[in-house]
Amino acid sequence: MIICPYCDAENISGVDTCDHCGQPLSDLHLPTPASHVEQCLLRDRLRTLPPNRTVTSVTPDTPVGDAVKLLALQSIGCVVVTENERLVGIFSERDVLMKLNARLSELAHHPVSEFMTANPQSLDREAKVAFALHSMAVGHYRHVPIVDEQSRPTFIISVRDVLQYLTEKMSEADDSNT
C-alpha cells in the first residue's frame, strides 16, 4: 500500500495518482533517499523556502532601459513581465548581457518584450524543491517564477535561494551527526 502524502488515503502499490484526491504519486516509487539533503529535496515544497523580496514586474511595453535600471537599482537578477497581472515573460541580467550587451544605449527605448524570454518556465508553490532544481538545471535557468492558479507571479526562486536551502539542509545534517 502507498499512503498519499496529500490526503493520507491508502492506495494500491504502483498507481500514479491518488484514488481519493487525484494528486500524483509517481515520485513515491523513487529509490529511498541516501542522505538527509536528498530526503529534504524530495519532501520539501517551494513554499517552504525562505521568503524573498517581492516580485518586481514590468509590462511588455516598458522601455528596456527602464527595466535595466530596475535591475540595477533594486540589485535583482530579473523582472517578470506581466500583462493583466499574468506572467507573459521574464527579463534577466542574462538577457542584458546576451541580447543587448554594448547596444544597450542604442536600444534603450525599445520595449522589453523584444528582449524578454516569453512564456518562461514557471512553477506553483506546491512543486517540490527537487523538481525546481531539476528544471533550473535542465533549462539553464537562474530564476523561476512561482505563480498562483491565475498565472500571477507570487515570488521568484533563484539559484541563490536554492544554494541557501542546500546549505541549511547540509548544516542540519551535520548538526544531527554530531
173 SS3 class: helix
Residue 47 near residue 154 (C-beta atoms within 8 A): no
119 SS3 class: coil
- Write down the pLDDT at residue 9: 82
- Write down the pLDDT at residue 38: 87
Please, what's the b/e burial string for 95-109 (b: 16 or more CB within 10 A of its CB; e: otherwise)? bbeebbeeeeeebee
Torsion angle, CA of 123/124/127/129, rounded to 10 degrees? 60
Q: Is a pLDDT exceeding 90 seen at residue 94?
A: yes
* Cα distances (angstroms) measured from residue 27 to each of 4, 5, 50, 113: 11, 11, 24, 37
Average pLDDT over residues 88-96: 96
Residue 146: closest CA among 173, 131, 126, 165: 126
Per-residue pLDDT tens digits for 52-73: 667 999 999 999 999 999 999 9
CA–CA gap between residue 145 and residue 143 (Å, rounded) = 7
Q: Is a pLDDT exceeding 70 seen at residue 31?
A: no
Give me the CATH code for the 47-167 domain, please: 3.10.580.10
